[in-house]
Amino acid sequence: MRRVTGKSGDSLIEMSPSGSDDMNGYNNHESSGTGSLQQGPPESLTPRVCVETCESLCSSLASVASSDHSSTQQVDAQTLEQIDAVTGLWRRRALFLKFRSRIDKQQHSKDSVFFRDGRRRVDFVLSYVDDKDGERKQERRKVYEANLENVGLELETEDKSESEDGKTSFVKIHAPWEVLATYADVLKIKVPFKVNDIPDNKDTPMNWLSTPFRLPDHIMHPEPDYFTAPFNKSKSDFFLIDNQETFFPPSTRNRIVYYILSRCSYLKDECPDKDKKGIKRLLNNGTYTAAFPLHDSRYWTRSRDPNCESERYNLYKHWARFFCFFKEQPLDLVRKYYGEKIGIYFAWLGFYTEMLFFAAVVGTICFIYGFLTYDDNQWSKEICSEAIGGNIVMCPLCDKKCGYWKLITTCNSSWQSHLFDNVATVFFAIFMGIWVTLFLEFWKRRQARLEYEWDLVDFEEEQQQLQLRPEYETKCSKRKLNRITQEVEWILDRTTSDLMGKCLLCWLTVVLWISLIIACIIGVIAYRLAVYAAFASIMKDSPTAHLQVVGPLITPQLATSVTASCINFVIIMILNLMYEKVAIWITDMEIPKTHLEYENKLTVKMFLFQFVNYYSSCFYVAFFKGKFVGYPGNYIYMFGEWSKLRNEECDPGGCLIELTTQLVIVMTGKQVWGNIQEALVPWLRNWWGSRKARSHPESLYSRWEQDYDLQVFGQLGLFQEYLEMVIQFGFITLFVASFPLAPLLALFNNIIEVRVDSWKLTTQFRRPVAAKAHSIGAWQEILNGMAILSVVTNAFIVAFTSDMIPRLVYMYAYQPDGEMNMKGYINNSLSVFNISEFPEANSPEDGENPFWFNSSITTCRYRDYRYPPGHQKQYTHTMQFWHILAAKLAFIIIMEHVVFLVKFFVAWMIPDVPSDVRARIKRERYLVQEYLHDYEVERLKNQLSQNANDCTCAPMIYPSLPKHEVLSECL
């Protein structure tokens, strides 16, 4: 036996117990008088049969009533026969209604986004499961749902017996026109009032070239272009309302319903506890297990209901599949289905990816230049020469365990460094400074166009005034006059001590976590210092030389750098898991007033954490490693001489190659791990979910249960996507001078990212509540700040991390033959130290020194510009050192000023709002005023004419008043 509930009119129908399962318990039923229902399928119960049986029923009832006046036995027998016939007709009618309710239930409830009546749309779904605390939660649900109905929402409940697991109940919510109109007026939602009559003059030259990248017009522009104005319920006839049921799109409907849900109390009116309200608290305390709007269809097929859209299917077909990676994004459809906030993100991500193409092309050209000039690298030839590099003995790179070594062992790293450290590096650093300006300026123009097309102009003010967070409203206890709106509004009762205490606690927590990150970085640095000696001791006799492929490439410097970078990456990933919870906790404690303020505060905190977490190791390698080393006999130690941890020197091939290694490992590792999390894990979940769907008949696996099984697009969903892209933006701008291929890697990642994000959102997540946003918010200011900082960091990388400036100074001022070449540069850039002057603590052990028994070796070389032993200024900096330092500072000043001047000039030349958009905004504002004026005048005329006809005032009462004043008095 299976219990099935459904509605027929206002009656709840319940099937009778039956021992047979054929046709859901519809068996043969006999009746006397009018015949019997023949054995067969229930399809024989057609509407025509029902009408006939009802007519027979009426006639039988009439004959029964008339038989009361008869006293004969024949009449009594006839009466009993008629009563028996009536009973059989009622039974047949009940069976027919049962079958019809079950069919209707499966058509309109199981596989539809409408109520059982097939007319009212399901705008939101609440789900719950009864548990041990069921009575208390049931009372909350009862009061909450009653309050929802009091504000005008319509509810319909699906019993848990109808769910697949037999435990979950669903409450479907519908917002009727009156509710939608009222809250659209409150929220100032813009709706169309006139078709856009401005001609679109977008005649792009060579437009046919973009044909392969285009999508169908009905996908790119699902709605006509309208002039819009904020909705006013009292002037509803001013707007283009053809059908009240479809006037507000589903995204707007679910936004309005969620606004109501988040502010509705779950206590009775006699319990005025302001904190006991909102669906968020009911979800947190387990009263409801989920609250979500429904997708309009399954993503792999169109909706069967002609009254329902199939926008999800269109998004999956034209946007979410990977093989559409070369196609344009249907941003208007994304905005219509998911709301403006998600639409803005994908618009920004797509534009960022397009602009990365140009940076990737230039970066690849710079890398190819370094590869093509590989054989012209004079300093690498000297290092790899047996006559020069083979005869230069270098000083130990660590105390005791490290021995003397020959410069020729760094041959491979010097060639590798040339690929990234060449003249093209300077050009690319300058280019990226200009590129980032163009990207931000063109994005402002693109954003301004979207603001107009998506009715987001002047939205920020409305957001500040109207979109208060429910968490803020529940904490308010005082009222105050707003000087701007001149309205009395609720405010928090914050004392000075309480406010200062919370702010101090919040920022102390931020400082504590940032200090934790710095401590972890210091730990990694200590690891590098301690482990380098171990690697140097193990590899002193080149035990890896027998490896045919990687043996010659493995050096103590490379092994230390790679392992330290990997450990640092693991620490970054672990700390990331904790940052999110800490940042949310701190922001919640501050109780921001609006959603925009909440997101901005959370954005600043999370970015500070992630900035220090991801970039601190790169900053160390770029600007600190090898800069404070000292010289042989007078080394500088990290924690003091007692620690025996000598500050790191750069690789003999230069510090830039180590920065490149660090950047590649952290950036690539982050992108690979992110793609595994975002693509592989959801794919496995989707594969398992598809198995579950296949194991259940489609007609029995309910529409709301399918969405209930999807993942939740949580509070940090979109925020994490922004953060991931902004961190990537920092990698390709702050340190791009060390790795010109970084934009190319980012481009490949983002092409995948766009489709992975769209695939997840379309197939793996519940439909998020639509939200408005006129821009990318605080991320815009963060990008601007990183753009300015990137000019400074790249200038310092070229000047202090790269060897470009010392080489140019040597070539132009210190080349002994006066020629414009780099001959003799290696010998010139290495200083000399007398081995006999090594302190006992620094000198290598006998067994560790391969040159110990060669008495002809009395000196060793090291990277620096100092006077040789025996000079009156021995081991102090030479004049060439100060010339190079002056050249470095001059380069930084010149590069920064040139790039900044170009940046500001480009920003001044490119207006933030396109001229055609500015004209359209003015045109729309003019039309709104004109049409509203005409509407009000026409409305007033109608009222005056109607009241003039109904006016009974005698003219002699107002002998001296003009006609319009008489009419005004009548009004």
pLDDT in tens, 63-78: 434 444 444 444 455 5
Give the residue among 418, 157, 412, 402 at the shortest CA–CA distance from 288.
Answer: 157
The mean pLDDT value for 372-381 works out to 84
The pLDDT value given to residue 951: 53
Of 290-294, 518-522, 858-862, minimum mean pLDDT range: 518-522
CA distances from 497 to 480, 504, 505 (A): 20, 10, 12
Beta carbons within 8 Å of 435's beta carbon, 6+ residues apart: 355, 358, 359, 362
CA distances to 27, 69, 81, 91 from 57, in Å: 22, 20, 13, 11
Asked if the model's pLDDT at residue 582 lies above 90, the reply is no
**Lowest-confidence pick of 34-38, 104-108, 653-657, 822-826:** 34-38
Band (pLDDT 50/70/90 cuts) for residue 368 is: very high
pLDDT given for residue 44 in this prediction? 37
End-to-end CA separation in angstroms for the chain: 69
**Of the candidates 456, 350, 378, 263, the residue with the CA atom closest to the CA atom of residue 757:** 350
Mean pLDDT of the region 773-784: 90
Q: Which two tokens stand for residue 721?
A: 């996507």
Mean pLDDT over 757-785 rounds to: 90
Query: How far, CA to CA in Å, does 398 sit from each of 450, 527, 851, 886?
Result: 59, 14, 16, 30
Task: Express as a percent the part of the chain with pLDDT over 70.
Answer: 73
Q: pLDDT at position 685, please?
A: 64
Worst-scoring range by mean pLDDT, 684-688, 701-705, 755-759? 684-688
Does the pLDDT at position 637 exceed 90? no
For residues 810-831, average pLDDT: 87
* DSSP symbols for 450-512: HHHHTT-TTHHHHHHHH-B-HHHHHH--EEEE-TTT--EEEE----HHHHHHHHHHHHHHHHH
Closest by Cα among 11, 15, 12 to 2: 15
- Give residue 740's pLDDT: 92
Average pLDDT over residues 822-844: 83
Mean pLDDT lowest among 420-424, 773-777, 849-853, 919-923: 849-853
| Element holding 300 (H helix, E strand) | none
- DSSP per-residue string spanning 652-667: TT-SHHHHHHHHHHHH
Mean pLDDT of the chain: 77
Q: Are strands 11-14 and 124-129 parallel, antiparallel or unpaired?
A: unpaired
The reported pLDDT for the residue numbered 75 is 44
Q: Are 794 and 737 in contact (CB under 8 A)?
A: yes
pLDDT confidence bin for 436, thresholds 50/70/90: very high
Main-chain phi, psi angles of 839, to 5 degrees: -65, 160
Phi-psi region of 290 (alpha: psi -120 to 50; beta: other; left: phi over 0): beta
* pLDDT level of residue 348 (50, 70, 90 thresholds): very high
Residue 186 falls within a domain, yes or no? yes
d(CA 452, CA 460): 13
Query: Would the pLDDT of 849 be above 80?
Result: no
d(CA 527, CA 560): 9
Could you tell me which residue, 552 or 218, shows the higher pLDDT? 218
- Over residues 574-597, the mean pLDDT reads 80
By the 8 A CB rule, do 182 and 233 touch? Answer: yes
Whether residue 100 is predicted with pLDDT greater than 50 in this model: the reply is: no
pLDDT for 944 beyond 70: yes
> Mean of the pLDDT values across residues 103-110?
48
Domain total for the chain? 1
Q: Which of 23-32, 564-573, 616-625 has the highest mean pLDDT?
A: 616-625
Residue 40: per-residue pLDDT: 38
Give the residue from 718, 709, 667 showing the smallest Cα distance to 688.
Answer: 709
Whether residue 660 lies inside any domain: the answer is no
Contact 735, 793 (CB under 8 A): yes
For residue 850, is pLDDT > 60?
A: no
Q: What is the pLDDT of residues 239-266, one digit of tens each?
A: 888 888 889 999 999 999 999 998 898 8
pLDDT for residue 335 = 94
pLDDT value, residue 716: 73
Q: Is the pLDDT of residue 340 over 50?
A: yes
DSSP string for residues in 791-857? HHHHHHIIIIISSHHHHHHIIIII-TT--SS-TTHHHHHEEEEEGGG--TTTSPPGGG-TTTT-TT-
Distance between CA 737 and CA 421 in Å, rounded?
A: 9
pLDDT of residue 402: 76
Could you please report the per-residue DSSP string of 750-768?
HHHHHHHHHHIIIIIBPPP
* 51 vs 54: CA distance, rounded Å: 5
Average pLDDT, stretch 698-724? 77
Characterize the bridge pairing of strands 405-406 and 393-394. Answer: antiparallel
Euclidean distance between CA atoms 353 and 554, whole angstroms: 36
Give the pair of three-digit tokens for residue 188: 């100032």
Cβ atoms of 260 and 293 within 8 Å: the answer is no
DSSP track, 887-900? HHHHHHHHHHHHHH
CB-CB contact of 604 with 778 (8 Å): yes
Report yes or no: 340 and 718 within 8 Å, Cβ to Cβ.
no
Ramachandran angles phi, psi of 710, nearest 5°: -75, 165
Which is more confident, 548 or 216?
216
Sheet holding 830-834, edge to edge: 405-406, 393-394, 859-863, 830-834
Q: Would you place residue 272 in the very low, low, confident or very high pLDDT band (cuts 50, 70, 90)? A: low
Lowest average pLDDT, out of 16-30, 67-81, 225-239, 322-336, goes to 16-30
What φ, ψ does residue 436 adopt, rounded to 5°? -65, -30
Cα–Cα distance for residue pair 859/394, rounded to 1 Å: 9
| Contact call for residues 309 and 686 (beta carbons, < 8 A) | no
pLDDT interval class at 867 (50, 70, 90) = very high
Phi, psi of 503, deg, nearest 5: -60, -45
pLDDT, average across residues 902-918: 89
Residue 288 within a domain? yes
pLDDT classification of 853: cutoffs 50, 70, 90: very low
Is 260 within a domain? yes
Rounded to an integer, what distance in angstroms lies between the CA atom of residue 128 and that of residue 167? 8
For residues 893 and 705, give the distance between their C-alpha atoms in angstroms, rounded to a whole number.
63
Phi-psi region of 860 (alpha: psi -120 to 50; beta: other; left: phi over 0): beta
Per-residue confidence band for 845, with pLDDT thresholds at 50, 70 and 90: low
The mean pLDDT of 823-831, rounded to a whole number, is 89
Asked whether the beta carbons of 30 and 36 are under 8 A apart, the reply is yes
The mean per-residue pLDDT over the stretch 686-709 comes to 61
Which of the two residues, 107 and 731, has the higher pLDDT score? 731
User: Whole-structure pTM over 0.85, yes or no?
Assistant: no
Mean pLDDT for the stretch of residues 320-326:
89
In a domain, 179, yes or no: yes
Q: Are 363 and 744 in contact (CB under 8 A)?
A: yes
pLDDT exceeds 80 at position 224:
yes
For CA atoms 534, 539, 540, 543, give the dihedral sign.
positive
pLDDT of residue 33: 35
Tell me what percent of the residues of the chain surpass a pLDDT of 90: 25
pLDDT beyond 70 at 197 = yes
> Does some domain include residue 175?
yes
Higher pLDDT, 357 or 946: 357
d(CA 199, CA 923): 12
626 close to 620: Cβ distance less than 8 angstroms = no
* pLDDT tier, 208 (very low <50, low <70, confident <90, very high otherwise): low
CB of 447 within 8 A of CB of 453? no
**Residue pLDDT, tens place only, 134-189:** 788 889 999 999 999 999 999 999 888 877 778 889 999 999 999 999 999 888 88
Residue 3 confidence (pLDDT): 30
470 has pLDDT over 90:
no
Residue 848 CB contacts under 8 Å (≥ 6 apart), including other chains: 400, 401, 402, 403, 537, 540
H-helix or E-strand containing 8? strand 5-8
> What pLDDT, in 10s, does the model give residues 912-921?
899 888 888 8
Kind and range of the H or E run holding 332: helix 331-338
DSSP secondary structure of 545-586: TT-SSSGGG--HHHHHHHHHHHHHHHHHHHHHHHHHHHHHHH
Model pLDDT, residue 202: 60
| pLDDT for residue 82 | 55
Of 656 and 67, which is predicted with more confidence?
A: 656
- Residue 13 in any domain: the answer is no
pLDDT of residue 188: 85
Which pLDDT score is estimated for 608?
87
Among all chains, which residue has been given the structure tokens 């991931």?
Answer: 724
Question: Is 565 a domain residue?
Answer: no
For 203, the domain range is: 124-303
Mean pLDDT of 520-533: 79
Q: How high is the pLDDT of residue 166?
A: 80
